[in-house]
Amino acid sequence: MTSVTIQVEQLLRTPRPRTGETATAAGGVCDPKLADGPWALDAVPGAPLPMPEYGPGSSNADVAPASTPVQQQIPAEYRRTPVPELEARIRAARATLGDRLVILGHYYQRDEVVQFADFVGDSFQLAQQSTTRTDAEFVVFCGVHFMAETADLLASPGQSVILPNLAAGCSMADMADIDSVSACWDQLTALYGTEPDEQGRVPVIPVTYMNSSAALKAFCGDRGGIVCTSSNAAAVLEWAFQRGQRVLFFPDQHLGRNTAKAMGVGLDEMPLWDPRKPLGGNDSQALTDARVVLWRGWCSVHQRFTPEQIAGARAANPDVRVIVHPECPVEVVDAADEAGSTQYIKRAVETAPPGTAFAIGTEINMVRRLAEQHPEHTITCLDPVICPCSTMYRIHPAYLAWVLESLVRGEVVNQVRVPADVADSARTALQRMLAVRP
């Protein structure tokens, strides 16, 4: 076994930090502020606003753009309350709210929060789940901003969707904004024209990953486009190729490249669009010959995985089964045994014969939870440096207690509401996705 594997296994076996114990003290390498006091990263009301950063962790280098919602500091009382007391208060508020409330939690969310979720799932499952509890007045979404926006788009009239910490964004989603995607579209349509070919396929169809703003979903809805998630990306690309000669895929280049490559599209048919350069940094012939134009976006968590880590895991155990998320770079997906969405990874672990060794390339909260839930297997993370999604981590039990107790008092805080002028078109793109069968 390599020292890397031993180190990761030790970290995975390390008990999760509790109150008064920082993640670093407990053996992780996550910044203690992020684990124990993410409000240190919130805006201070009244103070001149520095650009709020996503905070330490894997997205350390990503700075939140100006349009990112700003979380004001939660009341001091919540910041001071120890986690066990917060947990008791969350339970009490939940009991008081009863069926008026549903709590959704993404797999990448920390355990201290996930324990309260009525449904835990990937972004596709949570989008579906949010449509099944039409009786619940309040949908509290323990995930990130684009997921809460999606739940709001699919919500029934009278339902409020609440994101406990508005600063829980997604650095990848913020890499594509409506202005730069519109500028790209104008250049592509000037080049391609708008006439369908003899099979009735339009020159280009826009496809946005779920990890995008509602404005971009609306952009797709208005232009015959569609949304995809990592669990249905291949089926959605099939749908798009039936209707278009080419696809403009944003914001994640890796999901687009990996999915299209697995469908037989050549890497040379997938130029990368850099929004800072004319024609995205391409010549017009490359764009004309393209099957998929890939936006230059990525996930800071999944971009950390490397083929060298996979080689290390195989050297340590030649029988290891390596599974990575399709947001990883193509060389990593090529070197792995399998690639799939968070739900795919979970199912693979659940259905494997006991004693299977897994090396997994995805977010650490999920890998750690799988390791805890499946002691019959040996499950390690490919990355030796513990690698949380730092924005998911912004949802601490203090924020959950605050929003739930506010609801008990009749006050809705941190509601995520998609503006009416984009909601209908964004819903169209989402409903096209929900109608596609993987």
User: Annotated binding site for iminosuccinate, which residues?
Assistant: 106, 123, 209-211, 230, 325-327, 342
Is residue 360 a contact residue for ligand SF4 (CB under 6 A)? no
What H or E segment, with its residue span, contains residue 304? Answer: none
Partner touching 177 among ligand SF4, ligand 13P, none, CB below 5 to 8 Å by kind? none
Token pair in block for residue 352: 């494997």
Helix/strand/coil for 407:
helix
Residue closer to ligand 13P, measured from CB, 5 or 212 = 212
What's the min distance (Å) between Cβ of 93 and ligand SF4? 26
Terminal-to-terminal C-alpha distance of the chain: 39
> How far is it, in rounded angstroms, from Cα 44 to Cα 41?
9
Residue closer to ligand 13P, measured from CB, 204 or 301 = 301
> How far is it, in rounded angstroms, from Cα 162 to Cα 383?
32
Taking residue 354's Cβ as centre, other Cβ atoms within 10 Å add up to: 8
Find tokens 């009301």 and name the residue.
45
Residue closer to ligand 13P, measured from CB, 78 or 239 = 239
Residue closer to ligand 13P, measured from CB, 108 or 273 = 108
Among 148, 153, 172, 422, binds ligand SF4 (CB under 6 A): 172
Binding site for ligand 13P (CB under 6 A): 122-124, 211, 229-230, 299, 327, 341-342
- Which one, of 2, 3, 25, lies nearest residue 14 by Cα? 25
Q: In sequence order, which residues have a C-beta less than 8 Å from that of residue 308 and are 6 or more positions away?
A: none
Q: What is the DSSP letter of 380?
A: E
Q: Which residues does the annotation place in the binding site for [4Fe-4S] cluster?
A: 170, 299, 389
What's the min distance (Å) between Cβ of 378 and ligand SF4? 24
Q: What is the dihedral of CA 339, 342, 344, 349, to 10 degrees?
A: 100
What's the min distance (Å) between Cβ of 40 and ligand SF4? 20
Partner touching 152 among ligand 13P, ligand SF4, none, CB below 5 to 8 Å by kind? none
What's the min distance (Å) between Cβ of 147 and ligand SF4? 8
Which contacts of 21-28 are long-range, i.e. CB under 8 A and separated by 24 or more positions?
28/386
What's the min distance (Å) between Cβ of 211 and ligand SF4? 5
Report the interface residues with ligand SF4, using CB under 6 A: 59, 108, 144, 170-172, 211, 299-301, 363, 389, 391-392
